[in-house]
Structure 1
Amino acid sequence: MYKLTFKQFLPINRQQAWDFFSSPKNLADITPKRLNFKILSMSGGNKMHIGQIIRYKITVLPFVRMYWETEIIEVLESESFVDIQKKGPYAYWAHKHSFKEVNGGVEMIDELEYAVPFGLIGRLANYLFVAQEVRGIFEYRFNILSQYFTKA
């Protein structure tokens, strides 16, 4: 099991952060374009809720598309939510998104736990490129969000 934590200060209030991040529609805007992220379906509409299922596809390599299904398993309104992978490329994936009021804005905290399939081969793949890819996605988000909320 691998654990990663990412923190970012945003010059907005917690409600603004919640409104943006709790809307699955905004995921495509903060995901690297090369992944061709596309939501295929969302249960229960656009308002996030426990039990919501989101199905999407991404392109992980040229001409290699993966389907991913996540479920929202925890929601603390305006504070945090947790999504887990139901189907997808990982053996396990849990992502907690938290929003903490701080002086002048909000601290966004992403806590990620994941495991790769295929035993030793999977661990080697994680060492060689999976961990780097995951960190790269969050670095991309950091940069996009810095630009987006500085302009707002």
Structure 2
Amino acid sequence: MLTFQYTTLINAPIETVWQFHERSDILVLLTPPWQPVQIIKREGGLGVGAISEFRLWLGFIPIRWLAHHIECNPPYLFVDRQEIGPMESWVHRHEFVNENGQTRLTDKIEYEIPGGLIVEFLIGWWVDSRLKEMFRYRHEVTQRECDEVVATRTFGGG
């Protein structure tokens, strides 16, 4: 089992960061433009039972990815688990912690790559680097979007 974690202190209240993640267009916003991913559907918001479905492209090969939300504790945590997809297993914890009016956003993923320990040893570093690149992008978008919400509330406009 491999573990990936990425954390950022977002300069916005926890409620603002949580509400950003509740947006109906969140998957579009958080998908890096360079990734070969097609969003098929998102249903149920962040609550338990919610689903997100994607089509990933590995070259010319489409791969279905279906994730179900298995835990939700607003505005602190939601967890999704891959039901169908490219990994042997995948559990993604989205954690939100209040730190003096800011929010510590942490994405933690525990996953297994098909093929066992040898494959994990051979390509685990590559998967980790792709995840780091993706979550750097996601956290930057989250900060930018939450900055806009805070500025609008503070100054009454754009």
Q: TM-score range by the shorter chain?
A: 0.7 to 0.9
1:112: which partner in 2? Answer: 109
The TM-score, its normalising length taken from structure 1, stands at 0.85
| Structure 2 residues not aligned, in runs of 5+ | 150-158
Compare CA radii of gyration and give the structure with the larger one: 2
Alignment length (residue pairs):
148
Deviation at 1:139, TM superposition (A): 1.8
Cα deviations across residues 12-53 of structure 1 (Å, max 9, x unaligned)?
111111111234631221221122433212344xx3221122
The TM-score, its normalising length taken from structure 2, stands at 0.82
Q: How far apart, CA to CA, are the structure 2 residues paired with 1:24 and 1:135?
A: 24
SS at 1:49 equivalent: coil
Deviation at 1:122, TM superposition (A): 4.5
1:135: which partner in 2? Answer: 132
Identity of aligned residues (%): 25
2:153: which partner in 1? Answer: none
SS at 1:125 equivalent: helix
1:14: which partner in 2? Answer: 14
| Structure 1 residues not aligned, in runs of 5+ | none
1:53: which partner in 2? Answer: 51
Deviation at 1:124, TM superposition (A): 1.2
1:79: which partner in 2? Answer: 76
Deviation at 1:147, TM superposition (A): 3.2
Q: How far apart, CA to CA, are the structure 2 residues paired with 1:34 and 1:108?
A: 23
| RMSD between aligned residues | 2.0
